[in-house]
Amino acid sequence: MSHSIAQLAQALRARRTSSADLARQALDAARRSTLNATITLDDAAAIAAADRADRALAAGSASPLCGIPLLHKDIFCTHGTRTTCGSRMLENFVPPYDATVVERLAGAGAVAIGKANMDEFAMGSSNENSFFGPVRNPWDATRVPGGSSGGSAAAVAAGIVPFATGTDTGGSIRQPAAFCGITGLKPTYGRVSRWGMVAFASSLDCGGVLARSAADCAEVLRAVAGHDPRDATSMDVAADDYVAALSTSLKGIRIGVAREYFGAGVAPGVAAVVREALATFERHGAVLVDISLAHAELAIPAYYVIAPAEASSNLARYDGVRYGHRCADPASLEDLYTRSRAEGFGAEVRRRILVGTYALSAGYFDAYYLRAQRVRRLIANDFSGAFAAGVDLIAGPTAPTVAFKLGEKSDDPLAMYAADVNTVAVNLAGLPAISVPAGFSEGLPVGLQLIAPAFAETALLAAAHQFQQATDWHRRVPGAGA
Amino acid sequence: MTPSPGPSRPSMASEDPSRPSMASGALGLLPGALGLLPGVSHLTSHGSWQPVIGLEIHAQLSCSSKLFSGASTTYGAEPNTHASVIDVALPGTLPVPNRAALDKAIRFGLAVGAQIAPHSVFARKNYFYPDLPKGYQISQYERPVVSAGRLSVRVDDGRTIEVEIQRAHLEEDAGKSVHDAFHAATGIDLNRSGTPLLEIVSAPVLHSPAEAVAYLRTVHTLVRWLGICDGNMQEGSFRCDANVSVRRSGETKLGTRAEIKNVNSFRFVEKAIEYEIERQIRALENGESIVQETRLYDAAHHRTRPMRSKEDADDYRYFPDPDLPPLVVAAADIAAIRATMPELPAERRARYQAELGLPEGDAEQLCVDRATADFFEALLAALKGAAPGSGAAGASPHGQAKIAANWVLGELAAAQNEAALPIEAARVTPAQLAQLLLRVGDGTISGKIAKDVFAAMWRGEGDADTIIAARGLRQISDSSALEAAIDAILAEFPKPLADYRAGNDKLLQFFVGQAMKRTKGQANPQQLNALLREKLAP
């Protein structure tokens, strides 16, 4: 199913297909797939939703998403469908409520066929940290799809669904989108409600979308964005018409090229592809401006203090008392806690809980947590300074390399964390960013990241869309040759 | 809200037992004189040691829903029926602050002249406990909504002390562990989880159990007066932890403190602190040192015992809650709340003394809760309304206020107490009581008969005029009728008459009694007295 949302919407209205057919095709494709991109497929719920969509279409529904199948990252709570967050801890957790994102997409008539695989509690950059097994990259099954929204990215790239939801705490939408050759949008923090999104690091977590194009991302964002009274950090900012603005030309757009994003860790092949993509922007009227983001190198250490600190607290509720995994025959309360958590959480989650607990502990709080927060402000100031100095967008490679091999970094957490170097700063600053396919290196997709000022998704999506009008990288599909 | 089980003023007074007697009188100091000498109250009972006490009061805010969820806060429901997905801390749920709780916190802050933070911050207090569903409690830590307030507190010995309130912050309550409902297992009830609390923290400026309890009572009165907390200690809506240390008199450094947890009555607070002071003094005088620890008060044995020491105390890893942006309070919000602030108990007490001429004790007792004070005001208004500007109850305005106060604090309080009804549920309204007092004032009945009429009114037999008419209680002021009665008595008791005339003045009361008996108590007492004296004269 390598069609765009707009193509499918047209086919549905022309009666060339039905929502029920699309849902069945997607469910079949997911079952045939060897990528391990899904954790749960909910046929009954999918078919029921598809039938509703078909009736709505017959009644003339104007919603562009009506009848379109999708996967939800298994971090979004789905009423009646288990929500594991990639963890043994929540292996059998069935929420009695929908996440706002789930509710809004259902309201737009989109048809969820199930839940996408992910790194446990969204902690990881390779999708190797899932209790349900690693996801494989559709371009090369020996490679990782990126993470933590690896199942979402692989499923879209493999054509199982035209789009999937994801979450991005430090790059978890953009990096897998880059590794899988698709488009991934991380909106401004506060643009999309976090209600029903299992928390990893609350001040950084951001719901978003992985799709085949910026235009499709715009359609989905239009459906999910907007203030939600159930999330106190959701911003009451008027939602623009992201779709209508897509035709805005690149002429005169000033793109800041951050020299720090082309540092020593960036593979030469990746840098070359991104430089060429930037040249494409320039050919279409954009102005490239050399800029510096002075504190870029501090983003990783700051992120890997703040995110684990918040996680250590957010994950305290998984204690084996009320729901979730509980160890057998606890001998005492202490035993109940320690064994339930040791058995329920994987190694990376345990590691981050330990790191975060340490960073918040008396005597270390100032040196780690507070210092990281000060760095966070410096990083945010770098961005706002650049935008204030007149650039409209900031660009660079989404990830320093193409998709790496399964197992290549799984024993080296620091190397794994370093792969997030270009994405985490955006979360620390709360900005919107998108990764678009920009070409190939070593036969694997390379992503270009564009970053915009807060709540400037319209400009961000328009620039990405104009680039995709000028290129066809986003139309390449695995197996069809790169 | 469940009504408190009894009229609050009398029941609380009854909780105040005999304390070790205060020695200010014995020292030859006038009551009140100590008020001019802050910090010397330890002279009263602790020798050369000065106790230093600070209280942390948890007042449950009277909000219909929880601090961060829409679940009900009603007490006493079936376990876990008032626990939403947020209170149970299901994954992906998020807290949204209850603005009504913030308004109540601000109301308290304004009442104690405190600073209201334009931005206050919720923080997470992290610890594991089965009845703490999130694994952290949302509280305020570095930036509380209320800081730097003061409260004037009258101590029983007549002194008034100024107590600094360091801060008052919003936080959510935990659930409850139920240890006795299941065999070999503990149940968890999350109905209370997320209930809004205001934690009111005093500076360590209290120097005796009596001062601590007086402060606690003043806060208790204030929060109920403001309508922000029902003050019900049995249900845990108002509870207190006490930080207690002692130091040598003259020492300025604080001693090592112990924290006494969750003491749930005024009497126990006083006893627990008293015990703890004695324990610490004894230990220090024996050359031992005080361990910083949390202690529990054991009411059955009147002692405190260690709960946990600082070594194994939790590191709460406080940090700002990333789910909650700072609470913003605009100057206009504060102004709007200020505009609806009631006259405070201290202000009303002062007014009763200055404008109504009430004695301090009466003013104090009337203002012990707002319902009592409001009843009194309504009674005064009804008296004035019935006969404007006339001193209706046959008295000057000051005399009238005193009569009204006597009735509210006397007959009414006694009836309430006996029926275990709060004044809000009193069976006689201010208007009805006013009618009764007017009948005393205009001479229709005597004060003594009025008490019987009141009792009948309380029993629901009708209003004062109906009862007076039905029972024929109208006072006899007709002098020919009174003269006839007196003549009959004098004829009946020649011997006492002779003795009286021989100089035994005390027998006057005998004749008054006999005349009252003969008139069934309905004789106008002043008139009777005058006529008797006249007739008894030799």
What is the per-residue pLDDT across A255-287, written as a single tens digit (0 to 9) for each?
A: 999 999 998 889 999 999 999 999 999 999 999
* Catalytic-labelled residue, pool A4, A18, A172, A340: A172
Q: Measured on CA atoms in the order A168, A171, A172, A177, is the torsion positive or negative?
A: positive
Q: What residues of B are in contact with residue A316 (Cβ under 8 Å)?
A: 126, 128, 134-136
Q: Tell me if B50 sits within 8 A of B277, measured CB to CB.
A: no
The token duo for B288 is 């031992």
**Spatial CB neighbours of A389, under 8 Å, sequence gap ≥ 6:** A291
Q: Is the domain of B214 the same as that of B333?
A: yes
Provide the strand spans (E) within B108-159.
115-116, 119-120, 122-126, 136-140, 146-154
What is the per-residue pLDDT across A371-393, written as a single tens digit (0 to 9) for each?
A: 999 999 999 999 999 999 999 99
Query: For residues A158 and A151, what is the distance between their CA atoms, to the nearest angstrom?
Result: 10
Closest by CA position to B65, among listed B57, B54, B53, B73: B73
Lowest average pLDDT, out of A25-29, A318-322, A375-379, B288-292, goes to B288-292
Q: What is the pLDDT along chain B (538 residues), one digit of tens a residue?
A: 333 333 333 333 333 333 333 333 333 333 333 333 344 444 446 779 999 999 999 999 999 999 999 999 998 899 999 999 999 999 999 999 999 999 999 999 999 999 999 999 999 999 999 999 999 999 999 999 999 999 999 998 989 999 999 999 999 999 999 988 888 888 999 999 999 999 999 999 999 999 999 999 999 999 999 999 999 999 999 999 999 999 999 899 999 999 998 788 999 999 999 999 999 999 999 999 999 999 999 888 888 888 876 555 679 999 999 999 999 999 999 999 999 999 999 999 999 999 999 999 999 999 998 999 999 999 999 998 776 544 444 567 788 899 999 999 999 999 999 999 989 899 999 999 999 999 888 878 888 889 999 999 999 999 999 998 888 788 777 777 788 888 888 888 989 888 988 888 888 889 888 888 888 888 888 888 888 888 888 7
- pLDDT recorded at residue B310: 57
DSSP classification of residue B408: I
Q: Note whether residue B412 is domain-resident.
A: yes
Q: Is the domain of B288 the same as that of B420?
A: no
Q: Is the domain of B156 the same as that of B178?
A: yes
Nearest CB neighbour to A309, from listed B85, B130, B319 = B319
**Could you give the number of structural domains in chain B?**
3
The answer to whether residue B149 neighbours chain A at the CB level (below 8 Å) is no
Angle between helices A214-224 and A5-13 (to 10 degrees): 70
- pLDDT recorded at residue A415: 83
Q: Tell me if B337 sits within 8 A of B107, measured CB to CB.
A: yes
What is the per-residue pLDDT across A214-226, written as a single tens digit (0 to 9) for each?
A: 999 999 999 999 9
The interface predicted TM-score of the complex, written ipTM, equals: 0.96
By three-state DSSP, how is residue A479 classified?
coil
Three-class SS string for A112-148? EEEEECCCHHHCCCCCCCCCCCCCCECCECCECCCCC
- State what percent of residues in chain A have pLDDT above 70: 99
Q: Give the chain A residue nearest B133 (alpha carbons).
A: A317
Q: Which residue has the tokens 């600190």?
A: A309
The answer to whether residue B315 neighbours chain A at the CB level (below 8 Å) is yes
- State what percent of residues in chain B have pLDDT above 70: 89
Nearest CB neighbour to B136, from listed A76, A316, A361 = A316
For the segment A36-61, the average pLDDT, to the nearest whole number, is: 97
pTM for this structure?
A: 0.88
- φ, ψ of residue B29 in degrees (nearest 5): -95, 145
Asked if the bond preceding A148 is cis, omega within 30° of 0, the reply is: yes
Angle between helices B331-339 and B99-111 (to 10 degrees): 70
- pLDDT recorded at residue B188: 94
CA angle B70, B223, B200 (to 5 degrees): 85
- State what percent of residues in chain A have pLDDT above 90: 94
Q: Note whether residue B218 is domain-resident.
A: yes
Query: For residues A400 and A178, what is the distance between their CA atoms, to the nearest angstrom?
Result: 10
Under 8 Å CB pairs connecting chains A and B tally to 100
Q: Average pLDDT over chain A, rounded to whole?
A: 96
* Catalytic-labelled residue, pool A73, A115, A186, A409: A73
pLDDT at A323 over 70: yes
- pLDDT recorded at residue B276: 95
Q: Which of B317, B321, B328 best probes binding to A when mutated, by most A CB atoms within 10 angstroms?
A: B317
Q: Is the domain of B308 the same as that of B413?
A: no
CB contact under 8 A, A317 and B126: no
CB contact under 8 A, A317 and B92: no
Closest by CA position to B263, among listed B290, B233, B286: B233
Q: Is the domain of B203 the same as that of B285?
A: yes
CA distance A87 to chain B (A): 12
Domain ranges of chain A: 5-249+457-475
Q: What residues of A are in contact with residue B124 (Cβ under 8 Å)?
A: 313
Angle between helices B494-501 and B525-536 (to 10 degrees): 80
Q: Tell me if B159 sits within 8 A of B32, measured CB to CB.
A: yes
Q: Is the domain of B409 the same as that of B527?
A: no
Q: Note whether residue B486 is domain-resident.
A: yes
Range of the domain at B311: 46-339
Q: Is the domain of B95 the same as that of B236?
A: yes
CA distance A289 to chain B (A): 35
Nearest CB neighbour to A361, from listed B85, B93, B317 = B317
Catalytic status, residue A186: no
The answer to whether residue B324 neighbours chain A at the CB level (below 8 Å) is yes
Q: Which of A118, A313, A341, A345 best probes binding to B when mutated, by most B CB atoms within 10 angstroms?
A: A313
CB contact under 8 A, B322 and A323: no
Single residue among B471, B505, B527 that ends a domain in this structure: B471
Single residue among B339, B367, B390 that ends a domain in this structure: B339
Q: Is the domain of B319 the same as that of B280?
A: yes
Please tell me the CATH superfamily of domain A5-249+457-475, with its number.
Answer: Amidase signature (AS) domain (3.90.1300.10)
Query: For residues A39 and B504, what is the distance between their CA atoms, to the nearest angstrom?
Result: 109
Q: Tell me if A305 sits within 8 A of A424, measured CB to CB.
A: no
Q: Tell me if A35 sits within 8 A of A136, measured CB to CB.
A: yes
pLDDT at A9 over 60: yes
What is the per-residue pLDDT across A326-335, written as a single tens digit (0 to 9) for each?
A: 999 999 999 9
Q: Is the domain of B484 the same as that of B462?
A: no
Q: Note whether residue B82 is domain-resident.
A: yes
Task: Name the interface residues of A facing B (CB cutoff 8 Å).
Answer: 75-77, 83, 85, 90, 93, 95-97, 99, 194-199, 201-203, 229-233, 309-310, 312-313, 315-317, 319, 321-323, 333, 337, 357, 360-362, 365, 369
Query: For residues A160 and B101, what is the distance between their CA atoms, to the nearest angstrom?
Result: 49
Nearest CB neighbour to A233, from listed B85, B318, B323 = B323
Domain containing residue B512: CATH number: 1.10.10.410
Task: Name the β-bridge partners of A137.
Answer: A140
- pLDDT recorded at residue B313: 62
What residue type is A124 in one-letter code? G
Query: For residues B467 and B28, what is the distance between their CA atoms, to the nearest angstrom?
Result: 53
Q: Sort B327 into a burial class: Cβ within 10 Å, 0-12 / 13-18 / 19+.
A: buried
The answer to whether residue B99 neighbours chain A at the CB level (below 8 Å) is no
Q: Is the domain of B184 the same as that of B213?
A: yes
Q: Beta-carbon neighbour count of residue B503 at 10 Å?
A: 8
Query: For residues A409 and A128, what is the distance between their CA atoms, to the nearest angstrom?
Result: 10
CB contact under 8 A, B94 and A369: no
CA distance B247 to chain A (A): 28
Catalytic status, residue A172: yes
Query: For residues A92 and A85, what is the distance between their CA atoms, to the nearest angstrom?
Result: 11
Three-class SS string for A262-308? HCCCCCHHHHHHHHHHHHHHHHCCCEEEEECCCCHHHHHHHHHHHHH
